[in-house]
Structure 1
Amino acid sequence: MSSCALLFPTLALGQDTAGTTVLDPIIIQSKRDVQTDTATAVTEIDQEEMDDRQANTIAELIDSVPGVTLINGSTPTGGGINIRGFGAGNTYGSNQKVLIQVDGATQGSEELYRISTQLLTDPELYKSVEVIRGTTGTFEYGSGVVGGMVRLQTKDAGDFTGGQIGVKVRQALSFGTNGDGISSSTTLAWQPAEDLEFLANYSWRRQGRQIGGDGLDIGAEGFKTPSYLLKGKYTFGQNRDQYVSLSLTETSAAERDVPYDAFGTTGGFFGNVDRDITSRSAVLSYGWDPAANDLVNLEVRLSRADQQIDSTAIGGPNALGDADHRYETTQLLIKNTAELRFGGFDNRLRTGVEFIRKERLEASSAPGGTDDRVALFIVNDMDFRNGLTITPALRYETQDIDGRRYGYGRYDNDALMGGISARYEWSNGFSVFASAAYTESLPILDDLTNTAQNWGGRIVNYMTTPERARTYEIGSAYRGDDLFATGDAFSFKANIYHTKAWDLTSEPGMSGTDMKGLELEAAYSMANGIYLDLNANLADYAATTVAGVPGQGYAHTPTNQARLTIGKKWDRGLDLSWEMIADKRYDAGTTVSPGFAVHSLRASYRPESGVLAGAEFRVAVENLFDRDYKPRLGTRNGPGRNVKFAIAKTF
C-alpha cells in the first residue's frame, strides 16, 4: 500500500488545477460507511446501526470495529474495552490508554482492580458512537491515548422533532431469550419554539444470567441498569449564531451477593459483595459561530463526570470487598476553530486550552488524591487545494498530582506531545495517507502507593515516569460508484500501524510493547438494495518484561479477526442481513484461544405509510448455531443463541 502513490500518477493529471475538484457525494447504502476522507483511523456508528444491533452495552455496539476487542462486553461491570491491545485487561477494567467521552465529558476510572466502570451506561441514550484507533486525531481530546478513544453523542430533541415546533414521543421495547433480557426506553422531545428544545429519556434494562453454547451458565452476573438523559438547548443571537446547551446523564446498577471479582478469574477468592454503582455526567456548553467572521467558531464546555462504586463485603470485613471508590472529573474547555486562507492553501486551525481536575476518594484498596492539569493544543488542517492535506498537531500538558491529604506525596510533571498526518486524494476517489504520533500518559493517582519499583536493576519512580508511545501509520482508501453495475457504490480503507510503547507502569510485569497490525474496512452497495460490509484486524505483538527481557508474548494481544455482513434493503423499509464473526486460533506459548465463527441474522422493518407509519420492528438471532466459544481476552465464554425482538413507535 505504501506504493499506491506510484500506481496512479497519470490519474492526477486530470485534476482541476484551478482548485480542488468538487465531486458529487457518493452514498454507500450499507450498514456502515467507511471514513475514506481522513488519515485518522476512525469508525462511526450511527443511529440506524445502533438500533439494528439491539446492544445491551456500549461495548456490544463497538465490538464490530476493527482493532476493538472486548473483555466480557455483555456485562457493564465485568467488562472493558481494549483497542489495539491497550486498555482493559483481565486485571484492570480500564486504563488511560483508551479514552471514553460522553458529550465531551471524560468517563471512567484509572485502574480498578477486577472491576470496570467504562461500560456503565445505556445505548438508548445515544445517537452516535465514534471510535478513533491509535493516537492520530486525539490530541485535542486528551493525552496518553495509545489504543484509541470512544466518543459518544447523546440524542437531541431535534432528532425527533426535525426542528419543527411541537412534541414527539418515542417508546421502545426489546426482549431477549438468553437470560430473559428486557428493556424499555421512553423519550419525550419538546420544541416549544424554533430556538428552544428539550429532551427527556428514561431507559430501564434487565439482563439475567446467560447460558453458553454448551448449555452451561457462562458465569456472568445479571444486571439491572436504570438510566436517564435530560437535555436542553437554546439558540440565539444574530442569525441564530450562538447557542447554550445542558445535558445530564445517569446510569446506576445495584448488585447483591455477587463476587467482588467481576471478571471471574479468581474463583471467588475475594468473596462476595453487595455493590452499588452510579455513573453521572453533566455538560454545559456555549457556542458562537458568526457567519461574517471565519476566524471565530468558539466552543466553551464545562463538564463533570462522577463514577461511584460502593461495596459491602458479605460475611464479614474484607479489604477489597468493603472498598468504596469515587472518581470526579471536572473539565473546562475553551476552543476556537478558525478558517484561514493563505496564498496556496486553506487552513482549519483549532486551538484550545483545557483545565482538568480529577478527584479520587481514599479507598482501602486504592489511594486518594487530586490530579490537576492544564493542557494547550493546536491542530491545523492544511488543504493545499490540489488533493493534498497535511495536519500537524501539538499538545502540551502540565500536572500537579497531590495525595498529601491522605498521607502520600505531591508531584509535578509535564509533557509535550504531537504528531503529523498527510493525505493525498486523486480526483478518481483514490487516496493515500500516512501519520506519525508521539504521546505520553502522565502518572496516575492509583500509583501514589507505588512510587518506586525495581525493574531488573533499574529503579523506576512511577510518579515521575510517564508512559510513552510512538505510532506510525500508512494506508490507502478509495470511494467510487458505477464500478460493476449502474448505481453501485464502493468504499475501502486499509491501514497499517506500528506502535512502540515503553515505561508501561500500568502493565503488570511488562515495561514495553512493540505492536504491528493491519486494519481493513470495506462497504459495497448495489442499486437493487444488496449490500456488503467487511472489516478485519490482523495483529502481531511482542513485549519486554520489567527485567528487560525482550520478545515475550504480550498478555493483551488480540487475535486476528474478520467480520462479514451481507444484506438487502427494500424501498418499503425492510432490511435483512446475515453477519459472521470469525476469530483465528491464538496460540502463543502457554496461551491458547481456539478459533471460532459465530453467525447472526437480523431483520428490521420500518413502514413508511399506513397505520404503522412511524413504527419500527426488529428481530435478531445472535449466535444462530448456538456455538460454544470463548473470545480472545475474555475471561468467560460468550453467550449462546439469543433471539431478540424490538418494537418502537414515534408519536
Structure 2
Amino acid sequence: MPAVFCWLIFSVWHALALAETSTPEVAPLEMPVIPAKASQVGKPAEAETVETLPEVTVQEKKQKTPETGINPTLPVTTITSEQLQRAQPSNIFDAVRAVPGVSISGGPRPSGMTFGIRGYVDNEDVLVKVDGVPKGFEKYRMGGTFIEPELLKSIEVQRGPQIASGSGSLGGTVNATTKNAEDFLKPGQKYGGKAKFGYGNNSDEYSRSYLLYARPDERVDILYNYSNRQANNMTLGDGSKLQSSAIESISHLLKISVFPTEDLQLVTSVVKFDDTGLQPYDATGGQPGFFGNVVRSVDDLTWSETVNYDPEHPWINFKGTIGAGHTHLEDLIGQGAPFNSTFNPLQRQCRGTVNTTNPADSTTCRGDLTDTYEYKTDTVDLSNRAQFVARDDWALSLLAGYQYNASEREITRFYENQNTAMQALYPKGFNASAPPGRKSFHAIYLQPSLALGSFTLIPGYRQDRYQVEAAGGTLALLAPYGQASTIKFKQETWSLGLAYDAFAKNSPDKLTFYSNYGQGFRPPLIDEYFTQGPFSRCLTQFMRTSGPASQICGDLYQPQRSETTEAGVSYQTPHLFNSNVWFSGKLNFYHTYTSHLLTSLREDANGKIVQDGWERRNGVEVESFMQYRGWYLRGAYSRISGDIDTGLVSAPLYTAPGNALNIQLGAVLSEAVDLNISYRKVSDRDILLSGDGSRLSPYRFGTQQGYALWNAGARWQASKQVTFRLIGENLNNTLYRLDGTMGGLGMYGQGRNVKFQVELTY
C-alpha cells in the first residue's frame, strides 16, 4: 500500500482519538469591534481613524495555514502560485501532472498535448478555461490549450462535471487564472519589473520573459508580461532525437484591474499566443508523422472582462465574465521530405506547380496544400451567491448562474494549383470531412446550500439548451434529402452533495465525511453531426438499410451522458499526533457510468438505429500535504479501472491511465534558499493496438510499460534583485511514453533536462 494511504489512515485514527480525548476549549477574549469593512483582495486600502487598542500579549504563536490546494469535500485540486514558482513547469500540462486522476495524452509539443481526467482523454471531454473563457476547438487529433505557465497565477483542476463549471465536460474542467500586479508589488511600491532568462540543455531551449507591473493609483492595477521560448528537437532517454518536436512560441499577457469603489472590481485580461514550426499532422498520436508533417502556425487570442461586486449586503456576491477567443491555425503541407504526407504525396515529375516533363500541363502538379482553420468563441458567465441565513446552528445560501457560449469554425483546404483534379474534391475549399458550423448553448443553474449543525446538504439543478448549425458546403449536401441543418436539444442535469463534520466548527481539527452525486453530458461535435466521408458513422458499412441517404448522421445522435457517485473522508489538523506538523489529506472513491457512447451509433441486426454503448469506471484518489516548519511533503495517488461495451463487444477500459503515485519533498531553508525533489511512478496500462470493436475489425490489445521519474529544483535569492533557479527534469533519464489519445500507444516523453534560470527584479 502506497505511503500516502498510510498517512491518511494514521491521520483518521489520530483524529478519532483526538475527538474522544479532547478537552473543552478556552473561550477567546472578546475584542472591541473596529468599525471598518473586512479587507478584500485587490481593494485599495483607505485611511481610517480607529481607536488604539491596548497591547495584548499572545503566548502561543499561531502557525500560518498553508495553501494545500486540496478541497475537503469536492474532487477539486488547485495548483497554487507557490507551487508553480517552485516547479517552473515548461507547459501547463507539466504543471498539473501530479494531480490525482489526471493524465497527459499526446505530445510532445504543447499543441499536441491534451488533458485526460479519470480516463476521459478526448480533447472535447475536458473543458479548459483561461480567466473564465473556454478554450480549445475541434480539430482531428490536436490539442487546443495555448497558454504559457509563466503567465499563470493558479490552476484549478475539477475532476468530473461540476454544476457551475459548464456543460460538455465529462472528464472535468481545468481553470487557469493569470497573474495580477498585486501578486508582485511590495508594500508601498507603485512600479516594478522582472526579467527572467532560462536555458534547458535537453533541446537547447532558450527562454526569456519580461514582466512590468504598476499601481500608479490606488484604484488602478496594471500588468504586462512577454514570454519567448525557442528550442530544438527534444532528446529522448536513449539519446535519440524526437523529430518535429522543436518549439518556437511567443506569448503576451495584458491585465488591467480598476476599483471604482471598494465593493467593485473590473478586470480586463488579454492573452495572446503565437506558435510555429514543423509538427506532426496527427499532433496527439503515438507515432509522430503517421499522416506526415506540416508547418503549423497558430495565432491565438483570448479576451475577457470580469466584474466582481461584493457590497455589504449578504444577498449579493456577484461575479460576471464576458469574453471572446479567436484562433487562427494554418497547416502548410508540402511534398516529399520532411512532410511525407499522405494527403499530398510526392509528385516526382513536378517542381511545385510546374510539370517538368510537360511544362504545358497546368492541371497535374498540385503544389503545396494549405488547411486553414478559424475558430471564434464568445462567452458570458454570470453568477451570484446569496447568504440568506448565517447562524451558528444553521445557514442557508444559494448559488445561481447563467451561462452562454457560442463557438464557430470555418475551415478551408486549397492546393497551390487550384486547377488540379484534387482541388475539385474540395469545391471552394470545402472539406466534407471537416465541416464548418456553429454550436451554442444557454444554461441556468441553481445550487442551494443548507447547513444544519454538523451536516451540510447541497443539491443542484442545471438546464442547458443547445443549438448546432451546419454551414458552408454542408448545406448543399443536406438540402437534396430534406435533412435538417439545425439541431436543437435540451439537457437537464442534477447533483447532490452531503457532508458531515465530526468536530465542532471552531475546532482547529477538521474531520469531514462526504458523498457526492453528479450528472454530466457531452454533446456531439460538429464533426460528428455533419461529417460526410470516411469519418462518418452513417456510412453503409455501419448502416446498411436504415442510414440516411446523405450519409451524414445529423440528429440521429444522442448526447453522451454520465453519472458519478463518490464518497470519501478528509482530515486537517495543525498538530498531527500533538506535534507541530500541519497535515491535510483526503481519500476519495468514485464510480462513473457513461451511457450512449457516441462511437456506438450504428444499425443493429433488426435494422434499428441504436446508440447503446457504455463505459464503467471505478477509481480511488488520495491527496495529502504535511508541513513542519520549513519542510513540506506532498503526496498523491490515483487508480482507475473499468470496462467498455460498444454494443457489439466488451473490453477493458483502454483509455484508463496507469496507476500513478506522486511524492514531493521540499524545504524552505531560509528566505533566500529552498529545495525540492519529486518522484513520479506510473504503472503499466492497457492500450488499443488496432481494431474498432466491430466484428470485421475486433479489438487487439497490448501493454504500454510504466515508468518512474525523478525531478528536483533549487532556488537561491542572492539579493533582493537577483534570484537563481536550477531545475532537473527526468534526472534518471528514463525512456518513457506519455499516454496516447484514443487509448493507443503514446509518444515518447523528454529525456533528462537541466534548466538554469536567473530572475532580475526591479
Fold shared by both chains (TM-score > 0.5): yes
Aligned equivalent of 1:516: 618
Q: Flag the structure with larger Rg.
A: 2
- The residue type equivalent to 1:373 in the other structure is F
1:172 and 1:184 in contact (8 A); partners too? yes
CA distance in 2 between counterparts of 1:405 and 1:357 reads: 17
In 2 relative to 1, CA 33–644 (structure 1 residues): closer, same or farther, beyond 3 Å? same
AA paired with 1:84? Answer: R
Q: Which amino acid aligns with 1:553?
A: P
Equivalent positions of 1:66-215 (< 5 A) are 66-88=100-122, 94-95=123-124, 97-109=125-137, 111-118=138-145, 120-135=146-161, 138-162=162-186, 164=188, 166-215=190-239
- In structure 1, distance between residues paired with 2:624 and 2:725: 25
Return closer, same or farther for 1:194/1:164 CA change in 2, 3 Å cut-off: farther
Match runs of 1:269-308 below 5 Å: 269-291=290-312, 293-308=313-328
Q: 1:25 deviation in Å? A: 8.5
CA distance, structure 2, for counterparts of residue 318 and residue 165 of structure 1: 58
Match of 2:456 in 1: 389
Partner letter of residue 132 of structure 1? Q
- Residue 91 of structure 1: aligned partner: none
Contact 2:524-2:559 at 8 Å conserved across structures = yes
Aligned-residue Cα RMSD (Å) equals: 3.3
The reply on whether 1:11 has 2:19 as its aligned counterpart is yes
Q: Does 2:376 match 1:356?
A: no
- CA-CA distance at 1:380 after TM superposition: 2.4
Q: Distance in 2 between matches of 1:507 and 1:123?
A: 38
CA 26–562 in structure 1, closer or farther in 2 if over 3 Å, else same: farther
1:436 matched to 2:517: yes
Partner of residue 565 from structure 1, selected from 653, 658, 664: 664
Deviation at 1:261, TM superposition (A): 2.1
Which whole-Å CA distance do the structure 2 matches of 1:219 and 1:546 have between them? 39
Q: Which residue of 2 aligns with 1:495?
A: 588
TM superposition shift of 1:538: 1.0
Aligned to 2:746, what secondary structure does the other structure show? coil
User: Counterpart in 1 of 2:379?
Assistant: 331
Whether 2:642 is the aligned partner of 1:541: answer: yes
How far apart are residue 252 of structure 1 and its match?
A: 1.0
2:434 to 360, 363, 366: 366
One-letter amino acid of the counterpart of residue 231, structure 2:
Q
For the Cα contact (< 8 Å) 1:164–1:191, is it kept in 2? no
Structure 1 spans left out of the alignment, 5+ residues: 89-93
Matching residue of 1:650? 761
Deviation at 1:39, TM superposition (A): 1.5
In 1, the alpha carbon distance for the partners of 2:675 and 2:87 equals: 12
Residue 604 in 1 paired to residue 715 in 2? yes
Q: Distance in 1 between matches of 2:294 and 2:734?
A: 32
Give, in whole Å, the separation in 2 of the partners of 1:521 and 1:267.
35
Higher share of residues assigned strand? 1
* Other-structure match for 2:497: 421
- Asked if the contact 2:301–2:325 (Cα under 8 Å) also holds between the matched residues in 1, the reply is yes
Aligned mate of 1:44, from 78, 85, 88: 78
Equivalences for residues 47-62 of structure 1 within 5 A = 47-62=81-96
Q: CA deviation at 1:126?
A: 0.9
Amino acid paired to 1:11: A
Q: SS in structure 1 opposite 2:462?
A: strand
- Do the aligned partners of residues 153 and 141 (structure 1) sit closer, same or farther apart at CA in structure 2, a change above 3 Å counting? same
Question: Cα offset for 1:100?
Answer: 0.4
Asked if 1:638 corresponds to 2:719, the answer is no
Pair 1:494–1:26, CA change in 2 (3 A): farther
Q: Which amino acid aligns with 1:540?
A: S
Cα offset, 1:352, TM superposition = 1.4
Q: What percent identity do the matched residue pairs reach?
A: 24
Structure 1: distance between partners of 2:23 and 2:263: 36
Task: Give 2:79's aligned amino acid.
Answer: I
CA distance in 2, matches of 1:191, 1:504: 52
In 2, distance between residues paired with 1:60 and 1:506?
A: 30
Q: Distance in 2 between matches of 1:55 and 1:87?
A: 21
**Cα distance in 2 between the residues matched to 1:27 and 1:542:** 45
Check whether the contact 1:411–1:463 (CA below 8 A) recurs between aligned residues.
Answer: no
| Distance in 2 separating the partners of 1:457 and 1:499 | 34
Question: Residues 730 and 752 of structure 2 are in contact (CA less than 8 Å); yes or no, is this contact kept in structure 1?
Answer: yes
Asked whether the equivalents of residues 60 and 74 of structure 1 are also in contact (C-alpha less than 8 Å), the reply is: no
- 1:490-525 C-alpha deviation (Å, 9 max, x unpaired): 111111111111212168999321011101111112
Secondary structure in 2 aligned to 1:101? strand
Contact 2:557 2:601 in 1 (8 A): no
Decide whether aligned partners of structure 1 residues 264 and 403 sit closer, same or farther in structure 2, where only a CA change above 3 A counts: closer
> Which whole-Å deviations, capped at 9, do the CAs of 1:65-85 have from their partners, x for residues lacking one?
111111245411222111111
Match for residue 466 of structure 2? 399
Q: TM-score, normalised by structure 1?
A: 0.88
Give 1:295 shift: 0.9
CA distance in 2, matches of 1:626, 1:405: 50
Amino acid at match of 2:616: D
TM superposition shift of 1:481 = 2.5
C-alpha offsets along residues 167-193 of structure 1, whole Å, 9 cap, x if unaligned? 110111121100011211111111110
What residue number does 1:309 align with? 329
Q: 1:579 matched to which residue of 2? A: 678
Residue 371 of structure 2 aligns with an amino acid whose one-letter code is: A
CA distance in 2, matches of 1:586, 1:53: 27
CA distance in 1, matches of 2:265, 2:157: 27
Unpaired runs of at least 5, structure 2: 28-60, 345-368, 413-430, 479-484, 548-552, 603-611, 688-699
